[in-house]
Amino acid sequence: MPDIELSFHAQDMLKERNISVEWVWETVHSADQNEFHVEDGNWHYTKAIREKDNRILCVVVN
C-alpha cells in the first residue's frame, strides 16, 4: 500500500461532509471492494461505514 496524503481540497471536503479521516484510512486499508480504473488511472476503494447506517464511502486515490 503506497503512502497516501490528503490534499487540502480533500481535507476541506471531509470536514464539509462530516466524514472522519479514520473512515478514509479504514476504507483504503480494508475496503469491501477495490479496483483500478484504467480510464482515469486511479484506484477506487469502497466500504460500508457501520457508524453511518452502512452508507458506502468511496475513496479515489491517484
pLDDT reported for residue 1:
52
Domain residue ranges in the chain:
8-61
Query: What is the pLDDT, as a whole number, of residue 8?
Result: 96
Q: Return d(Cα 27, Cα 21) in angstroms, integer.
A: 10
**pLDDT computed for residue 2 by the predictor:** 56
pLDDT for position 4: 80
Q: What is the pLDDT along the chain (62 residues), one digit of tens a residue?
A: 557 889 999 999 999 999 999 999 999 999 999 999 999 999 999 999 999 999 999 999 98
All cell numbers assigned to 18: 462530516
d(CA 51, CA 40): 30
